[in-house]
Structure 1
Amino acid sequence: MSSLVRTEPLRGEPPLLVPGDPYSVVVLLRGYAEPEGGDNAVRADGSVTLVLPQAWSPTSGHRHPPPSGGGAKTSLEEAARGPILVDTGGPWAQEALLGALAGQGVAPGDVTLVVGTHGHSDHIGNLGLFPGAALLVSHDFCLPGGHYLPHGLNEECPLRLGPGLEVWATPGHGGQRDVSLVVAGTALGTVVVAGDVFERDGDEDSWQALSEDPVAQERSRKRVLGAADLVVPGHGAPFRVLREVSQPEKKGLDQRQQEPAVD
């Protein structure tokens, strides 16, 4: 069934909590990108999002990722049992990040997995705060200490971290290795933390100029809009994705509903 898609910013200031089972999503810091001075200079930082398993609490203790002998699948699933951070912002936002985590009862040592959507400095500038976490930055997955594991992520094969929790390959903005985190089962439906697949709501006039591969990014954008009920973009407020059946289809549905059933 085809549908019309429109978007609508989610109201409220960070931290924005979207409860869910088995994972809740908290937008800790809202990204921004603002012109500054001349020569097309921009002042920017990326959004930072926390994903909390319902079963985790500050008193449950720190869970270390397993040894590498278990392979990437086992290691990812184990790492996802604790707090997951998606992007870290730039190093200039370190104090804001630490304060936002503390507001959720999360210490840097509690974070068991950091997902970096791509390798730009405004999205992974604070990785050094989480030496005990497993890191999935773009398509590179490593355990603490720098032990890298192959995993096979591609556009047809996501990485499953837990029930309704996946990492998708969403190439385009930073090249071929960008990723997004997909969280199903929240109070607002499926949340996609999309990095810079979307700069912000209503970015149709600007995203292509910032993309290393606009063709791939267009494909990623369509995929995200087809699955998400809420998108956390890289540099703006989260926005809802609302779908409406097109008018011709609505008319056809109405006509079929009025027709008598045929035995």
Structure 2
Amino acid sequence: MSLGVRTEPLRRAPPLLVPGGPYSVAVLLRGYAEPQAVGGAVLADGSVTLVLPQTWGPASSRPGSPPAGDGAEAALEAAARGLILVDTGGPWAREALLAALAGQGVAPGDVALVVGTHGHSDHIGNLGLFPGAALLVSHDFCLPGGRYLPHGLSEGRPLRLGPGLEVWATPGHGGQRDVSVVVAGTALGTVAVVGDVFERDGDEDSWQVLSEDPVAQERSRKRVLSTADLVVPGHGAPFRVIREASQPETTSLENVIQKPRVQDEEPTLHR
């Protein structure tokens, strides 16, 4: 890692919830990548994460599509008032994804926006489960029914979805159009859900081989490490980013990382 920065993986198994306001972050499925004994094959699937607005609850309705005259920014902000799913896993994980959602009282129709961090099959293999959601896959944004809207997303211009909630252009792993979702204001600080910008904690020995543009990805990785306090990688446990020059950590993980549970007024996943 960069000088002055170290990382520390979280060992708790999903599902887990990092509460926050105005958004909480829940990791539903942890990605993995397991080398196989024959022919260099790898058994893999991507992480799946939910972003929950504080106002969401089982009785809340998903906001409808904005008027036809509205642009991408208004449409994204409208969608972000509902549940946001970041990546969907591969098609072979369909039942696991449905079970993870159902186990928390979430139906596919409750999801208002799906963000696909990049176009690999282990990250966007279940888009068909969410025909009523707006889709931001890499840099392509469309509303239900296939109405595509232009936007100005670039490395220098994030897309703002809500207070402290942004989509960043983080090119490298899959080319120039990878994206990450960045959520500020959680109990563990800023959370970055990054797809394969980071494969896993401690991936320094492997990420460059898998990258279509290592120079751009190195830039994206440094940007994430300079901002995020918690990173959700594509194929491993979430990990904390600890800056050595900062004050000693005093936050107890057990107190702020929760298994989702029912509450009447707090943002949570529901069993």
Scaled by the length of structure 1, the TM-score of the pair is 0.91
Q: Which residue of 2 aligns with 1:258?
A: none
Amino acid corresponding to residue 129 of structure 1 in structure 2: L
SS at match of 1:195: coil
1:104 aligns with 2:104: yes
Matches of 1:107 and 1:54 in 2, distance apart?
18
SS at match of 2:161: strand
Matches of 1:62 and 1:190 in 2, distance apart?
25
Q: Which has the larger radius of gyration?
A: 1
User: Which aligned runs of 4 or more in structure 1 are off by greater than 6 angstroms?
Assistant: none
Q: Which residue of 1 aligns with 2:223?
A: 223
Matches of 2:68 and 2:157 in 1, distance apart?
21
Matches of 1:240 and 1:232 in 2, distance apart?
9
1:118 aligns with 2:118: yes
Q: Which residue of 2 aligns with 1:190?
A: 190
Say which structure is richer in helix.
1
Q: Which residue of 1 aligns with 2:76?
A: 76
Q: Which residue of 2 aligns with 1:87?
A: 87
For structure 1, the 5+ residue unaligned runs are 247-263
After superposition, the CA RMSD in angstroms is 1.2
Matches of 1:67 and 1:35 in 2, distance apart?
48
Amino acid corresponding to residue 216 of structure 1 in structure 2: A
Q: CA deviation at 1:37?
A: 3.1
Q: How does 1:36-55 map to 2 (within 5 A)?
A: 36-55=36-55
Q: Which residue of 2 aligns with 1:61?
A: 61
Amino acid corresponding to residue 226 of structure 2 in structure 1: G
Q: Which residue of 1 aligns with 2:24?
A: 24
The CA deviation string for residues 133-165 of structure 1, in whole angstroms up to 9 with x for no partner, is 000000000000111000110000000000000
Matches of 1:67 and 1:42 in 2, distance apart?
45
Matches of 1:239 and 1:53 in 2, distance apart?
22
Q: Work out the percentage of aligned pairs sharing the same amino acid.
A: 83
Contact persistence 1:181–1:193 (CA under 8 A): yes
SS at match of 1:69: coil
Greater relative contact order (CA < 8 Å, ≥ 6 in sequence)? 2
1:169 aligns with 2:196: no
Deviates most, 58-67 or 155-164: 58-67
Scaled by the length of structure 2, the TM-score of the pair is 0.89
SS at match of 2:49: strand
Matches of 2:82 and 2:62 in 1, distance apart?
8
Contact persistence 1:46–1:235 (CA under 8 A): yes
Q: CA deviation at 1:71?
A: 0.6
Matches of 2:62 and 2:183 in 1, distance apart?
22
Deviates most, 27-36 or 60-69: 60-69
Q: How many residues align?
A: 245
Amino acid corresponding to residue 228 of structure 2 in structure 1: A
Q: How does 1:141-160 map to 2 (within 5 A)?
A: 141-160=141-160
SS at match of 1:68: coil
Matches of 1:47 and 1:227 in 2, distance apart?
21
Q: Which residue of 2 aligns with 1:132?
A: 132
Contact persistence 1:68–1:143 (CA under 8 A): no
For structure 2, the 5+ residue unaligned runs are 247-271
Matches of 2:104 and 2:226 in 1, distance apart?
31
